[in-house]
A and B are shown apart, each in its own frame.
Chain A
Amino acid sequence: MKQKKTPFSIFWHKFKQRKTAMVAGIFIVVLVLTALFAPMVAPYDPFETDYSLSMMGPTLDHPAGTDVYGRDILSRIIYGSRISLAVGFTSVFVGALVGVTLGLISGFFGGFLDGLIMRTSDVLFAFPGILLAIAIVAILGPGLINVVVAVSVFSMPTFARIVRGSTLALKESLYVKAATSVGASKKRVMFVHILPGTLGGVIIYFTMRIGTSIITAASLSFLGLGAQPPTPEWGAMLAESRDYIGVADHMTIFPGIAIFLTVLFFNLFGDGLRTALDPKTK
């Protein structure tokens, strides 16, 4: 029996061939589940201090050791996954929402609006993300919510550019012209006919961006501008470990591995998506 080839089945067929991306996808699912069910998965309370256990190396009871206050590092990492995933996902989502809308307007209407939006995104684009984020946090003050705002802002310009590019192309396509000719409103053409066509690029960039956002957010917390102690945030945990390098190496090693693997798997997953959605590959 011959299966019908839908766009999704073609995508799925190509995506399955990318073993690393499949593994990365499974890891991400496990990570999300861990974050959702953190209270059930974590062996200890992430805030419970016990000075008799201060800075113990990895043992069977505490597989990732304990920190200065005797808190279980594994439990803190598990709870930290909630923060990193939430910050990474929310900031990219907000950035995508605003960026996609602006890109759609920019490409669809052209003219003055297009010039304004694109020049603004050029200025934002020229600025390295972390500096922009620091400047925004300097205005808004430290804290996780402000980190989300800061990271969203620097995700916007790329989304706007991607969507503007595909909007320009789709605007000239036959089916959009057909829709216009039968009297579809501008709003309908923009959101029903053009928007879905731009989403492929958006989804790829969305996935790739989550990793970068997690790193940026963790960096800001490491610099003392994001999550504040005693919040179990990965970057903040690494900041706490700085004074004990050489004394308690595990405090530096484990939270870093958590960031590294999370970002790595999001990047591998994004790479796989890109290859699978690219019409040039077989």
Chain B
Amino acid sequence: MIKYFLKRCIAILPVLLVVSILAFAFVHLLPGDPARMMAGDDADAATIEMLRQELGLDKPLPMQYFTYMGKLAKGDLGMSLRTKIPVYDELRLRYTPTMYLAMAGMAWSVIIGVFFGAVAAIYNGKWQDYTAMLVSVSGISVPQFWLGLLAIQLFSVHLGWLPVAGYTGKFSELILPAFTLGATVAAIMARFTLSAFLDVLDEEYISTARAKGVTETLVMWKHAFRNALIPVITMVGLQFGFLLGGSVVVETVFAWPGLGRYMIEAVAVRDYPVLQALLLLYSFHFVFINLLVDMVYALINPEIRYE
């Protein structure tokens, strides 16, 4: 078991290396001279030259990469071009709101999605199945930003039940953004749970359980459901990445002060150090989430563990 975990941990090192090179290369992929861009349009030649030296852009690329990684190890992500505040401090402030929102979105969507998927599987071919899957395919087809706008329109403006937007720590402010963010994932989870559940129902141990007279409820919830959950758990991990991506749109709709909205602001003013840091931060999250998924999967599925 420990050997498997160690092997998985070592396997992500090259991926992290590639990701860090990509994030480093990001600024160099941009059309034009990074120093000129960072200095702004009205900078004179001397200022640009000074900035070039300050950023080490006059040195060979591999040297620049090592300098960049060295700074990164110390938590130095550079300065935001727009606010002149260290990017690290900016990100730290926005990290919690994004994670808070993503966790809330994940929590409700997994519970609801898995529940409806299981119901659809148990009532396979009946109206419960069709209804759940109709709702689910609609959930996949609805654009998140529109769902968010409609939710604001109905619940905040017309009914006045919930705040339009904001982040002051009240639970009521979390409801609409978390609902919007989780809607697509809930739909995906429902579809995925349905197919995982139906696959399990084809297994021989289900027939065995039925044959020996176990009640149908017990077969469904004890034998089938628990086994269907194994692939579902993998899916939860993968969907977390999707959720972080979706938070860019949802945070913009609800003026949520997280990483996603910050990213859009940074794109708009071409704040490259910020974008570089965000790309790195997001990629590291995805790599580690995938690692975590693999490990949880090994923990619950002995077939993989002893391979």
Contact = CB atoms under 8 A, between A and B. Distances in A.
Interface of A: 119, 122-123, 126-131, 134-135, 137-139, 211, 215, 218-219, 222-225, 235, 238, 241-242, 245-246, 249, 252-253, 255-256, 259-260, 263-264, 267-268, 271
Contacts, number: 113
Interface residues of B, number: 45
Given A218-B143, A224-B268, A241 B245 contact: no
30 contacts: A122-B15, A123-B15, A123-B22, A128-B242, A128-B245, A128-B246, A135-B275, A137-B267, A138-B270, A138-B275, A139-B31, A219-B145, A222-B143, A222-B145, A223-B248, A223-B249, A223-B264, A238-B149, A241-B149, A242-B149, A249-B153, A252-B146, A252-B150, A256-B149, A256-B150, A259-B146, A260-B141, A260-B146, A263-B141, A264-B141
Nearest to A245: B153
A89 B193 CA distance: 30
A135 B26 CA distance: 9
Interface string B19-34: 1001000100111000
Contact of B140 (A225, A246, A267): A267
A267 B141 contact: yes
Interface of B: 15, 18-19, 22, 26, 29-31, 137-138, 140-146, 149-150, 152-153, 157-158, 241-242, 244-246, 248-249, 252-253, 263-264, 266-268, 270, 275, 279, 282-283, 286-287, 290
Nearest to B147: A256
A203 to B, nearest CB: 19
Contacts of A249: 153
Contacts of A219: 143-145, 249
A122 B19 CA distance: 12
Given A126-B241, A128-B241, A131-B245, A211 B141 contact: yes
B286 A127 contact: yes
A219 B29 CA distance: 24
Contacts of B29: 139
Given A223-B252, A246-B158, A252-B153, A238 B245 contact: no
Contacts of A225: 264, 267
Given A128-B246, A130-B249, A131-B248, 8 more contacts: A131-B245, A134-B248, A135-B275, A138-B267, A245-B152, A246-B158, A253-B150, A268-B137
